[in-house]
């Protein structure tokens, strides 16, 4: 049995949704078993919902009403394209209308309160998937398949960490099996909402932006799927983001560990948590292009024996490098521990750490949105040391990015860092800081924003990752 996830561009309009139906029917025919389908909202819808909720909270009634109108029009157009039976099209139109009324009422309450809570935001954001699953299931039925839209609030049980909820796997396994297996046995394709879940009490949550991939692997784990297929708008996992590196190449295979590093460091083709549930059970993942379903895509699995140094280059933007400096830090045990305990208490995650050998400074990288909280936490922790001038300064530099080179083949091979630095130096790009991941699968470095795209291209070229070159 296969779990397949279709991303936002794969369900972006009626034509695309009809194509999802055809791909699903073909998979059923070829494998002889009914797949589970997980879908995202139509592309751009989740962003619109977010804008509706935040403008409502700031006293604007016009924007959410406009957005409601746009969503209604876009979904109606898609229904007209892919649901030919007039009665079914009318019923789906009415259901869409009711869901949008509910959305408008919710925005109205947010407007009245003048406040948007994380819980309220999650309720709003999940609407896109609730609409797209109904539409996709209706399109499949229109094509003569058996399908049913399923809300993941009935399947994925999460904690109450709104905006970034984590699945409670035991409860989810029981619910997923109870809700989905009977459908599969009856040959009905369950079309499940990606991105959302609910607490054990039934309150709607979301698993984080871009997390429909993760929804698919959670379900794959719970149903012991044979494979999970992620359908997107690229040919697979590539050596770099093709929007930045035009000659980026599709990888035939990549290991769980490598793809986890790539996605953690910015390769948006897979959500960073996607691999966790499947790696535990050695369930292979394929990344495929829904616009060209005949292409082979990328296979992600346990071990990949390939003699390449570097698999891919990625970048994360909108970061800040925070530096804690002071002569009084030298040889004082526990400073680093206290810095990271303070950051940890603030609930912020650190993307990269480095300490100079003189022990006079520790620097680490966080997302820029988190900087004020982090700096405040450290200042409070070291109030006394700062008064005594043991710590001189807590500095921060905004508008930096991390570039990461990832590949299991880098492990134990000398000279990689020198080649990376050389490639950047040739372009006149200076490196602010560098760190090597403990796995040795990853070399990360910090550069200023303006240098990031050129830096990625330079390293990509240096390791011969482009389409026509071979790796040296």
Binding site for Mg ion (CB under 5 A): 210
Give the residue with the Cβ less far from ligand ADP, 143 or 268: 268
Q: Does 237 bind ligand ADP (CB under 6 A)?
A: yes
Q: Does 238 bind ligand ADP (CB under 6 A)?
A: yes
Nearest residue to ligand ADP by CB is: 7
Judged by CB under 6 A, the chain residues 15 through 74 that form the site for ligand ADP are 40
CA 273 to chain centre: 7
Binding partner at 195 among ligand ASP, ligand ADP, Mg ion, none, C-beta below 5 to 8 Å by kind:
ligand ASP
Phi-psi label, residue 402: left if phi above 0, alpha if psi -120 to 50, beta otherwise? beta
Q: How far is the CB of 151 from ligand ASP (least distance, A)?
A: 14
From 10, 37, 20, 313, select the one nearest 194 (Cα to Cα). 37
Q: How far is the CB of 39 from ligand ASP (least distance, A)?
A: 9
Q: How far is the CB of 150 from ligand ADP (least distance, A)?
A: 19
Give the residue with the Cβ less far from ligand ADP, 237 or 391: 237
For the chain, give the number of residues. Answer: 472
Binding partner at 237 among Mg ion, ligand ASP, ligand ADP, none, C-beta below 5 to 8 Å by kind:
ligand ADP
Give the residue with the Cβ less far from ligand ADP, 79 or 262: 262
Q: Count Cβ atoms below 10 Å from residue 323 Cβ, excluding itself.
A: 16
Give the residue with the Cβ less far from ligand ASP, 239 or 274: 274
Give the residue with the Cβ less far from Mg ion, 210 or 272: 210
Nearest residue to ligand ASP by CB is: 212
Q: Does 211 bind ligand ADP (CB under 6 A)?
A: no
Q: How far is the CB of 265 from ligand ASP (least distance, A)?
A: 18
Q: Does 210 bind ligand ADP (CB under 6 A)?
A: yes
Among 163, 242, 328, 437, binds ligand ADP (CB under 6 A): 242
Q: How far is the CB of 50 from Mg ion (least distance, A)?
A: 16
CA 113 to chain centre: 31
Binding partner at 46 among Mg ion, ligand ASP, ligand ADP, none, C-beta below 5 to 8 Å by kind:
ligand ASP
Give the residue with the Cβ less far from ligand ASP, 19 or 462: 19
Q: Which residues bind ligand ASP (CB under 6 A)?
A: 8, 40-41, 46, 128, 194-195, 209-212
Among 20, 53, 234, 362, binds ligand ADP (CB under 6 A): 234
Binding partner at 233 among ligand ADP, Mg ion, ligand ASP, none, C-beta below 5 to 8 Å by kind:
ligand ADP
Binding partner at 242 among ligand ASP, ligand ADP, Mg ion, none, C-beta below 5 to 8 Å by kind:
ligand ADP
Give the residue with the Cβ less far from ligand ASP, 212 or 289: 212
Q: Does 7 bind ligand ADP (CB under 6 A)?
A: yes
Count CA within 13 A, CB hemisphere, residue 360. Answer: 6
Q: What Å distances lie between residue 74 and 10, 97, 106, 128, 133, CA to CA? A: 15, 12, 20, 12, 15
Q: What Å distances lie between residue 463 and 177, 254, 361, 420, CA to CA? A: 46, 17, 32, 9
Binding partner at 240 among ligand ASP, Mg ion, ligand ADP, none, C-beta below 5 to 8 Å by kind:
ligand ADP
Q: Does 268 bind ligand ADP (CB under 6 A)?
A: yes
Which two tokens mark 51? 């804008």
Q: How far is the CB of 239 from ligand ADP (least distance, A)?
A: 7
Give the residue with the Cβ less far from ligand ADP, 268 or 397: 268
| Structural contact between residues 185 and 174, judged by C-beta atoms closer than 8 angstroms | no
Give the residue with the Cβ less far from ligand ADP, 146 or 461: 461
Separation CA 146–CA 286 (nearest Å): 24
Site string for ligand ADP, 305-344 (x = CB under 6 A): -------x--------------------------------
Binding site for ligand ADP (CB under 6 A): 7-9, 40, 210, 232-234, 237-238, 240-243, 262, 267-269, 312
């Amino acid at each position: 049995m296969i779990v397949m996830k279709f991303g936002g561009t794969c369900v972006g309009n009626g034509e695309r949704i009809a194509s999802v139906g055809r791909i699903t029917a073909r998979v059923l025919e070829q494998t002889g078993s009914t797949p589970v389908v997980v879908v995202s909202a139509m592309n751009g819808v989740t962003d619109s919902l977010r804008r509706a909720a935040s403008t409502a909270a700031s006293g604007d009634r016009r924007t959410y009403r406009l957005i409601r109108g746009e969503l209604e029009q876009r979904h109606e157009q898609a229904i007209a394209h892919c649901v030919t039976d007039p009665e079914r099209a009318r019923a789906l139109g009415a259901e869409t209308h009711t869901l949008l009324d509910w959305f408008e009422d919710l925005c109205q309450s947010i407007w009245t309160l003048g406040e948007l809570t994380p819980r309220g935001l999650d309720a709003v954001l999940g609407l896109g998937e609730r609409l797209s699953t109904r539409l996709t299931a209706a399109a499949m039925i229109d094509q003569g398949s058996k399908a049913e839209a399923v809300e993941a609030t009935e399947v994925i049980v999460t904690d109450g960490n709104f905006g970034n909820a984590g699945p409670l796997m035991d409860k989810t396994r029981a619910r997923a099996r109870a809700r989905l297996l009977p459908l599969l046995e009856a040959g009905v394709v369950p079309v499940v909402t990606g991105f959302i879940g609910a607490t054990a009490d039934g309150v709607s949550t979301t698993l984080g932006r871009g997390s429909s991939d993760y929804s698919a692997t959670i379900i794959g784990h719970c149903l012991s799927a044979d494979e999970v297929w992620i359908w997107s708008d690229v040919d697979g996992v590539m050596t770099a983001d093709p929007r930045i590196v035009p000659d980026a190449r599709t990888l035939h295979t990549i290991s769980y560990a490598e793809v986890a590093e790539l996605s953690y460091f910015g390769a948006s083709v897979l959500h960073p948590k996607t691999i966790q549930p499947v790696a535990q059970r050695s369930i292979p993942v394929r990344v495929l292009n829904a616009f060209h379903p005949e292409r082979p895509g990328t296979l992600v699995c346990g071990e990949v024996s390939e003699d390449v140094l570097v698999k891919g280059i990625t970048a994360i933007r909108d970061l800040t490098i925070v530096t804690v400096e002071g002569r009084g830090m030298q040889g004082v045990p526990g400073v680093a521990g206290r810095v990271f305990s303070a950051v940890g208490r603030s609930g912020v995650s650190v993307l990269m750490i480095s300490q100079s050998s003189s022990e006079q400074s520790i620097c680490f990288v966080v997302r820029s949105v988190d900087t004020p909280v982090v700096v405040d936490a450290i200042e409070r922790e070291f109030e006394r040391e700062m008064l005594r001038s043991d710590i001189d300064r807590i500095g921060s530099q905004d508008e930096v990015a991390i570039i990461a080179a990832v590949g299991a083949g880098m492990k134990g091979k000398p000279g990689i860092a020198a080649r990376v630095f050389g490639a950047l130096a040739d372009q006149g790009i200076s490196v602010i800081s560098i760190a090597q991941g403990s796995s040795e699968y990853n070399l990360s470095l910090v550069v200023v924003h303006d240098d990031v795209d050129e830096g990625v291209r330079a390293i990509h070229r240096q390791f011969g990752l482009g389409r026509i070159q071979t790796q040296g």
